[in-house]
């Protein structure tokens, strides 16, 4: 850590105001990235007409972690935007904002008069980030989900076995789509505020699930363009490396082991006393070993089966060979590397229990951007924000009594 980083430093986006109209994962991820980097992110949550804030708060099952994960370091402003008073309050807020972010269906924001075309006259410096299923084009009218674009975008085909397309094990497109939305916002800020050629004006940014997914599989598209050979699904691919596999070892444990170069093969054979294999001319180079996998791998699996996963981990680590235990997500909450490096930050879960949050996977001058506030309660900051916008205590109380505002 540098000497400068030993003192608390300002985060890069301190002083930046972001107003978000988001739900689920994609839009909230964009706001979380900007919030973690110091921006004031105000989450406008709908109330009234059967709404109780962001519906993501009520998700159960696989969606139960969405809200606390992607809404930390944010403020909550709860308003009924279908009333003139609620809409007026949010327009006052947007007039003070640098960025607006949203991820609702096409047309939703326009119906409220909160689309970019309507808001740029109010705030010409406003950067408006829209997160959609598809960028403008033939598919833009379709309703998209992460699964939808994984299926139509080749990722499910590449992930599962032939004939058995499989969704990736996390919200890859939602999360990355939100990250690209944040990257677009950062680029627009630089273009607006550059000291020598800044435009002084905002612009609309769009990020989309489908195009994000296509970017993820672009390496396979390029492989076909270069070689004329279509990429096979990952479980059926012809490996470029001789040993690049999950092994079942002692006591039924599993571990991933890799030997990806000729020098690594020599080390591997030496530490596991595989002199017979090292001397075999049929296994001289990596490509030779790839061609020999049909008979070589059963031999290696038999010999590795005598070791425990812990023993193999220790040997591979000592000899700088790639390995990985097969870990479940919940086990990472106790991962020694994450605990030692501060990669997990304490938070308060929505029900009041203590928990841990995974931080952005970056350091700034040796420090991880942290959690300054857990995900907010519905309307937690409503009164303070309305006061800042010029509403006095009587007006705020009236809005609360009429159900226009909450909190």
Model confidence over 133-170: pLDDT tens digits? 999 999 999 999 999 999 999 999 999 999 999 999 99
Which H or E run contains 316? Answer: helix 309-318
What is the rounded CA–CA span in Å between residue 18 and residue 74? 10
Query: Domain 239-328, what fold?
Result: formyl-coa transferase, domain 3 (3.30.1540)
Could you tell me which of 218, 213, 234 has the C-alpha nearest to residue 146? 213
Q: Say if CB 289 and CB 265 are below 8 A apart.
A: yes
Helices (H), 228-292: 262-271, 275-279, 286-291
Q: What is the pLDDT of residue 32?
A: 98
Query: Domain 4-217+340-406, what fold?
Result: Rossmann fold (3.40.50)
Q: What is the pLDDT of residue 8?
A: 62
CATH 3.40.50.10540 maps onto the chain at 4-217+340-406
Q: What is the pLDDT of residue 69?
A: 98
Catalytically annotated residues: 174
CATH 3.30.1540.10 maps onto the chain at 239-328
Q: What is the pLDDT of residue 207?
A: 98
* Long-range contacts, stretch 245-251, CB < 8 angstroms, 24+ apart: 245/297, 246/326, 247/300, 247/301, 247/304, 247/305, 247/312, 248/301, 248/305, 249/304, 249/305, 249/306, 249/307, 249/308, 249/309, 249/312, 250/305, 250/306, 250/307, 250/308, 250/309, 250/311, 251/308
CB atoms within 10 A of CB 308: 13
CA 208 to chain centre: 14
Could you tell me which of 379, 338, 350 has the C-alpha nearest to residue 70? 350
Residue with tokens 């020098």: 263
Could you tell me which of 208, 230, 235, 210 has the C-alpha nearest to residue 220? 230
What the block records as the tokens of 300 is: 């290696």
CB atoms within 10 A of CB 327: 9
Give Dmax (Cα) for the chain: 88
Ranges of residues in the chain whose predicted pLDDT is under 70: 1-8
Q: pTM to 2 decimals?
A: 0.94
Could you tell me which of 22, 66, 69 has the C-alpha nearest to residue 44? 22
Buried b / exposed e along 29-64 (16+ C-beta atoms within 10 A): bbbbbbbbbbbbbbbbbbbbeeeebbebbeeeeeee
């Amino acid at each position: 850590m540098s000497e400068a980083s030993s003192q608390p430093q300002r985060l890069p986006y301190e002083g930046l105001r972001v107003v978000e109209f988001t739900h689920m994962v994609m839009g909230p991820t964009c706001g979380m990235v900007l919030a973690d980097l110091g921006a004031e992110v105000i989450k406008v949550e709908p109330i009234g007409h059967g709404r109780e804030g962001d519906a993501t708060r009520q998700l159960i099952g696989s969606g139960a972690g969405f809200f606390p994960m992607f809404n930390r370091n944010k403020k909550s402003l709860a308003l009924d935007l279908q009333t003139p008073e609620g809409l007026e309050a949010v327009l006052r807020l947007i007039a003070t904002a640098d960025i607006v972010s949203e991820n609702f269906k096409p047309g939703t924001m326009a119906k409220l008069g909160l689309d970019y075309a309507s808001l740029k006259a109010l705030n010409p410096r406003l950067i408006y980030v829209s997160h959609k299923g598809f960028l403008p084009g033939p598919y833009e009218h379709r309703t998209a989900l992460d699964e939808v674009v994984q299926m139509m975008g080749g990722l499910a085909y590449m992930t599962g076995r032939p004939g058995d397309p499989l969704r990736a094990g996390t919200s890859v497109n939602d999360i990355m789509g939100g990250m690209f939305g944040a990257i677009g916002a950062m680029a627009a800020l630089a273009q607006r505020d550059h000291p020598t050629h800044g435009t002084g004006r905002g612009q609309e940014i769009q990020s989309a699930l489908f195009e994000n997914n296509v970017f993820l599989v672009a390496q396979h598209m390029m492989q076909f363009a270069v070689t004329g050979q279509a990429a096979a699904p990952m479980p059926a691919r012809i490996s470029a490396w001789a040993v690049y596999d999950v092994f079942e070892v002692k006591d039924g444990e599993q571990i991933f082991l890799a030997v990806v170069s000729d020098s690594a093969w020599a080390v591997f054979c030496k530490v596991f006393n595989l002199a017979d294999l090292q001397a075999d001319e049929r296994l001289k180079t990596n490509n030779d070993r790839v061609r020999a996998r049909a008979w070589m791998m059963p031999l290696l699996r038999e010999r590795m089966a005598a070791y425990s996963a812990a023993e193999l981990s220790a040997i591979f680590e000592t000899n700088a060979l790639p390995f990985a235990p097969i870990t479940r997500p919940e086990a990472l909450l106790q991962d020694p590397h994450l605990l030692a490096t501060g990669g997990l930050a304490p938070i308060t879960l929505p029900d009041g229990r203590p928990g841990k949050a995974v931080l952005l996977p970056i350091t700034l001058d040796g420090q991880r951007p942290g959690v300054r506030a857990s995900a907010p309660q519905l309307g937690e900051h409503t009164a303070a924000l309305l006061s800042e916008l010029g509403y006095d205590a009587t007006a705020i109380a009236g809005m609360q009594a009429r159900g226009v505002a909450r909190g």
